[in-house]
Structure 1
Amino acid sequence: MAAGSLAAVDLLPFDDYVRSLNRKRMSAGVLLRDGDRRVLLIQPSYKPHWDIPGGAVDAEEAPWTTAVRELREELGIVRTLGPPLVIDHIRSDPRMPEGIAFIFDGGLIDQADVDALDLTDPEILSVDLVPVDQVATKVKPSLARRLSVAWSVVATGNLALCNDGERITL
């Protein structure tokens, strides 16, 4: 491009440019597991599938802050989380815009801890430790794929990138 030809290009004013940027929804969940190859799932009151503790990232909130907050709000669990295990790009569908989903390592939990949970959040009907090989029967297929990837990297603490729950390599 020749010097001075940049002026010939129609550039948006900065505020218009910012308004034109794509917005993505974000969610953050927590993988809690026990020593018997089971994953903690929650039964929400507002949707048909089970889920992991977590939820939508609020405005001006970091995903890791969301994960800690949701764990406390949903289950009354206060703990330091481990590293992120999965970052998943989720394509849009007719009902939802595209998004980014994070899964953080919540560490180990045992049956006694689960039995002692005092579920006070009306959004949560029940919790269960579900064998890894049965998780896909309770959760949405995209979450089942994402959890399978999270489970495969939890021992190493590595971060996996996914597209709709399918692990990718860069």
Structure 2
Amino acid sequence: MDLLPFDDYVRSLNRKRMSAGALYRDEDDRVLIVEPSYKEHWDIPGGACDQGEPPWRTAAREIREELGITRPLGQLIVIDYIPADDRMPEGLAFIFDGGLISADDVARLDITDPEIVSVNLMSLDDAAPKLKPILARRVAAALDAAHSGRLVICEDGCPVGS
């Protein structure tokens, strides 16, 4: 049997996009969301993983760049498989627990990143219309995970069976 050359095999492997962010919330479970300047839907702090960058470094880098927050991230609380759509390839999204943040903390943020127009603490019900539906589902799963202390695996924003 002839083996496929290893380099050909590697080139044939599927590539996935990855993103990572953090869930920051206050004592009332309002979540911190950001209004980006480059897309219509709001988001949680975070962004796309650069080539060769693991998700935990991506989340820390993006949060530092977007919000100026440098405190360590908590545990990984959500991994979400994102199916391909007509514009984007399939991917994986990671959410880390950013911990508690107060309205005073948010008011003191010095937003200098031109990608961020504003930040806000909102209840999930108020935030959901501003978020893409998949992200609203993912954030709801992240809130549950933050309370339970358990990692939640999602597909298209929806938790999958354990």
TM-score, with structure 2 as normaliser? 0.97
Structure 2 gaps of 5+ residues are: none
Equivalent residue, structure 1, for 2:75: 83
Equivalent residue, structure 1, for 2:92: 100
Equivalent residue, structure 2, for 1:34: 26
Equivalent residue, structure 2, for 1:3: none
Structure 1 gaps of 5+ residues are: 1-6
- Given candidates 106, 121, 131, the residue that maps to 1:129 is 121
Query: Matched residues in 2 for 1:96 and 1:114: separation?
Result: 32
* Residues 104-151 of structure 1 deviation map (CA, whole Å, 9 limit, x = unaligned): 100010011100111100000000000122221110000000001111
SS at match of 1:155: helix
Equivalent residue, structure 1, for 2:103: 111
- Given candidates 62, 66, 70, the residue that maps to 2:58 is 66
Query: Matched residues in 1 for 2:61 and 2:149: separation?
Result: 22
Higher Cα Rg, which structure = 1
Equivalent residue, structure 2, for 1:147: 139
Query: Matched residues in 2 for 1:140 and 1:78: separation?
Result: 27
Matched, 1:165 2:157: yes
> What percent of counterpart residues are identical?
63
SS at match of 2:106: helix
User: What is the RMSD of the two structures over their aligned residues, measured on CA atoms?
Assistant: 0.9
SS at match of 1:154: helix
Measured after TM superposition, the shift of residue 50 of structure 1 is 0.6
Query: Matched residues in 2 for 1:162 and 1:155: separation?
Result: 16
Equivalent residue, structure 2, for 1:156: 148
Letter of the 2:24 counterpart:
L
* Residues 63-93 of structure 1 deviation map (CA, whole Å, 9 limit, x = unaligned): 0000000110000000111111110000001
Query: Matched residues in 2 for 1:37 and 1:161: separation?
Result: 21
Query: Matched residues in 1 for 2:119 and 2:29: separation?
Result: 16
Query: Matched residues in 2 for 1:135 and 1:24: separation?
Result: 28
Query: Matched residues in 1 for 2:124 and 2:42: separation?
Result: 14
Return structure 1 stretches of 4+ with deviation > 3 angstroms. none
